């Protein structure tokens, strides 16, 4: 694939500049530098995810508190914990359930108990799902009136079908994705996101440069960057930018700081296209994508300025570089 066959818009330059600026914010916060962590007014005002997916608050919580916590969990319990957390993708929901149950594991799972606790939270007018992405209701598949009830039944089906064993036997990230997308109510975007989350654990160990699925936001960002795809797939574009990142940064005179030596992988480049789509709504309002969204919903609020202790999957081999 040759990028020369395309006619990139100015948003493509913004893609690389945004990646550099957002990663600078990450390091400025780690180094406890004073606010603002960037001179970019758009990044100052609006909420954007990190350049690296694993650096985001929810992913960090998943890695540190759900997967690599102090307690040992069997592969079945580990799989259950990851998927239960990701069904809601909300730290507050996880901690509420953990405080009430003592521990979250498949061996102690009870639909009645989990349903009662989640229903009580809803009855208190408290949200149990993250707004990061929409989890399908699953009502057409499982028939319950409340979304969390259908989601619990989906999780039950996944576990009873032997998903942990299938994960252990899978040979690639793509195969893991195909296993997950075979379950009812899971679309391609969520199946891929879950595959990445499972791959953070010791349940499997696949190269994040081997497979990617472009979500709706990334597709929109890609169209804003290129206009026409000339017969290529969205995933082809993501693979191109991941493989040519050093060249693209260098030609623009950008000094991108990698994640302690780890380059951007396909999942990160996919996410960056999604964030560029949002950023371009303000920076390039005249350049349209697949949809015509003009606003960014979430503004950045400094809820907590305390330093974050970052931790990544040990198999990446970068944790010893964080404080050096």
Rounded CA-CA distance 96/121 in Å is 9
Please report the DSSP string for 115-140 in residue order. Answer: HHHHHHHHHTT---S-SSSPPP--HH
Q: What is the mean pLDDT of residues 148-165?
A: 97
Query: With 80 as the cut, is the pLDDT of residue 108 above it?
Result: yes
Per the structure block, which two tokens stand in for 86?
């990701």
- The rounded mean pLDDT for the chain is 93
What was the pLDDT predicted at 220? 96
Of the candidate ranges 33-37, 130-134, 216-220, 269-273, the one whose mean pLDDT is the lowest? 130-134
Query: What is the per-residue pLDDT across 49-101, written as a single tens digit (0 to 9) for each?
Result: 999 999 999 999 999 999 999 889 999 999 999 999 999 999 999 999 999 99
Q: CB-side exposure of 4: number of CA atoms within 13 Å? A: 1
Residue 209: name the closest of 242, 249, 241, 184 by CA. Answer: 242
């Amino acid at each position: 694939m040759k990028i020369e066959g395309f006619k990139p818009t100015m948003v493509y330059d913004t893609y690389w500049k945004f990646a550099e600026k957002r990663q600078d914010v990450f390091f400025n916060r780690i180094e406890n530098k004073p606010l603002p962590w960037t001179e970019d007014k758009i990044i100052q005002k609006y909420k954007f995810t990190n350049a690296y997916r694993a650096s985001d608050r929810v992913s960090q919580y998943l890695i540190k508190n759900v997967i690599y916590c102090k307690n040992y969990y069997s592969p079945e319990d580990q799989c259950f914990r990851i998927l239960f957390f990701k069904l809601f993708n909300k730290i507050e929901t996880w901690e509420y359930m953990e405080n009430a149950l003592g521990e979250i594991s498949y061996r102690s799972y009870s639909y009645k108990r989990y349903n009662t606790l989640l229903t009580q939270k809803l009855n208190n007018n408290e949200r149990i799902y993250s707004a990061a992405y929409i989890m399908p209701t699953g009502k057409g598949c499982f028939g319950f009136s409340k979304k969390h009830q259908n989601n619990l039944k989906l999780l039950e089906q996944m576990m009873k079908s032997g998903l942990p064993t299938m994960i252990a036997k899978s040979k690639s990230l793509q195969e893991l994705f195909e296993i997950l997308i075979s379950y009812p109510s899971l679309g391609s975007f969520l199946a891929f996101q879950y595959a990445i989350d499972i791959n953070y654990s010791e349940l499997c160990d696949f190269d994040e440069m081997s497979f990617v699925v472009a979500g709706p936001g990334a597709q929109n960002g890609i169209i804003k960057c290129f206009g026409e795809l000339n017969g290529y797939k969205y995933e082809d574009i993501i693979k191109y930018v991941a493989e040519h990142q050093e060249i693209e940064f260098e030609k623009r005179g950008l000094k991108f700081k990698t994640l302690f030596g780890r380059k951007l992988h396909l999942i990160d480049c996919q996410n960056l296209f999604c964030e560029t789509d949002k950023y371009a709504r303000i920076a390039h309002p005249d350049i349209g994508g697949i949809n015509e969204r003009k606003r960014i919903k979430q503004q950045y609020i400094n809820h907590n300025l305390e330093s974050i202790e970052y931790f990544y999957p040990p198999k990446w081999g970068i944790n010893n570089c964080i404080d050096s």
